[in-house]
Each structure stands twice: as structure tokens, then as C-alpha cells.
Amino acid sequence: MHDRDAAALDQMHDIIGQTLRGLRTLQRKQMLHQHLKPENATIDADGTMQIIDLDSTSVAGLQDASPNPHEGILSMLQYTVSEYFVGLTPSWRSDQFSLAVVVYPVLTGRLAF
């Protein structure tokens, strides 16, 4: 995000695509990251992006085995979806919203709101 001016549009497109594929992989395994923000993505020297910080990830079926140790909102306010504020259950759309809020400043140079 901080190197936006140094990255070409095709590089940004590739990194965003990698992030989206990573989220879809989690979603296919019925997992929600729930803490997506710029600090939770790394890019190595070869341009490979990795989603990190999976400690807040929700995995379908595991909530019944043990209670969620996290109380309240899991992410930074500017990347958090409204479901968390009103007590609704997050879904795969929640992670996609957070990704859109992360991507917007990468492409435009300013925050979404």
C-alpha cells in the first residue's frame, strides 16, 4: 500500500488477484479470515503475496468445539464490516468487503471513507 506509486498497474492487479485467490481458497475451506488489513499481507521479492495473521480466522464447525477466545471487533475499524458492529454473523462477503476497503487506497491513493 505504501509503495503504490512505485508499482505499475499490472503489478497491483497481480497482487490484488493473488489476495483474492487466497481469500477464495480460505472460503472454499469454510474459513473466514476476519482480520484482513494491509499489515496482514506480505509480498516477497518475487512478487508472491501471502495472507498472514490467521489467529482470528473462523473455521466452520470449530466454534462448537471451543468458544471463540476473541471478544468484540477483530480488525481495525476502517477495515471492519458493519456486521460486527450490530452483532450479525459475518460471512464470506465480510472478508470481500475488507479486501475492497484495502484495495481502494492502493488504486486511488486515498481511503475509501
* Domain carrying residue 33: 4-108
Give me the CATH number covering residue 64: 1.10.510.10
d(CA 77, CA 35): 10
| Residue 113 lies inside a defined structural domain of this protein | no
Residue 12 lies in a domain: yes
Band of residue 71 on the pLDDT scale cut at 50, 70, 90? low
Q: Is residue 26 part of a domain?
A: yes
Instruction: Confirm whether 13 is domain-assigned.
Output: yes
43-69 pLDDT per residue, tens: 999 999 999 988 888 888 886 554 454
Residue 23 lies in a domain: yes
Contact 73, 12 (CB under 8 A): no
Query: Average pLDDT, stretch 100-106?
Result: 87
Q: Are 57 and 34 in contact (CB under 8 A)?
A: yes
Beta carbons of 41 and 51 less than 8 angstroms apart: yes
Domains contained in the chain, number? 1
Considering the domain boundaries, does residue 36 fall inside one? yes
Query: What's the pLDDT score for residue 1?
Result: 57
